């Protein structure tokens, strides 16, 4: 599996660390209560097919990526830097 890093180009999966679904980008307010935090941390759509999830290019540019890929075929459609996305570090 190769992930096309916007900064480094296509790189082997071994260079990346997986975090989880891009639900992690929708961080609720600290006082939003148990429901929204449960949603954010635990509950998942968990799609069989196309998904967006977060990968850290640890052995490369040390950037977080939002990767568009397929959980059934392992095909990767593209990747964008999290920095600059809504919810990402500005």
Partner 1 sequence: MRYSGFKVFTEGLFGNSGWKPAWRDPAPKAEYDILIIGGGGHGLATAYYLAKNHGLRNIAVLEKGYLGGGNVGRNTTIVRANYFLPGNSEFYSHSLKLWEKLEGELNYNVMHSQRGQLILAHSDGQRDALARRGNAIVNQGDDAELWSLDQVRDFAPYLDFEQTRFPIYGGLMQRRAGTARHDAVAWGYARGADRLGVDLIQNCEVTGIDIENGRVTGVQTTRGAIKARKVGMVVAGRSSQVAAMAGMRLPIESHVLQAFVTEGLKPVIDSVISFGMGHFYISQSDKGGLVFGGDLDFYASYAARGNLPMLEHVMEAAMTLMPMIGRAKILRGWGGIMDMTPDGSPIIDKAPVEGLFVDAGWNYGGFKATPASGWCMAHLMATGEPHEVARRFRLDRFRTGHVLDEEGTGSQHNLH
- Contact 27/10 with Cβ under 8 angstroms? no
CB of 9 to partner 1, least distance (A): 19
CB of 2 to partner 1, least distance (A): 11
Cα 85 to Cα 74: distance, rounded to the nearest angstrom: 24
Of residues 72 and 89, the one with the C-beta less far from partner 1: 72
Cα 46 to Cα 3: distance, rounded to the nearest angstrom: 20
Of residues 54 and 63, the one with the C-beta less far from partner 1: 54
Of residues 9 and 47, the one with the C-beta less far from partner 1: 47
Q: Which of residues 64-83 bind partner 1 (CB under 8 A)?
A: 71-74
Structure tokens of 53? 């999830």
CB of 33 to partner 1, least distance (A): 10
Cα 52 to Cα 7: distance, rounded to the nearest angstrom: 19
């Amino acid at each position: 599996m190769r992930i096309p890093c916007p900064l480094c180009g296509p790189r082997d999966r071994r260079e990346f660390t997986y975090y989880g679904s891009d639900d992690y980008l929708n961080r609720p307010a600290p006082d939003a209560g148990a429901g929204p935090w449960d949603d954010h941390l635990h509950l998942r759509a968990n799609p069989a097919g196309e998904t967006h999830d977060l990968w850290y290019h640890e052995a490369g540019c040390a950037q977080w990526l939002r990767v568009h890929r397929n959980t059934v075929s392992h095909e990767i459609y593209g990747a964008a830097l999290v920095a600059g996305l809504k919810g990402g570090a500005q």
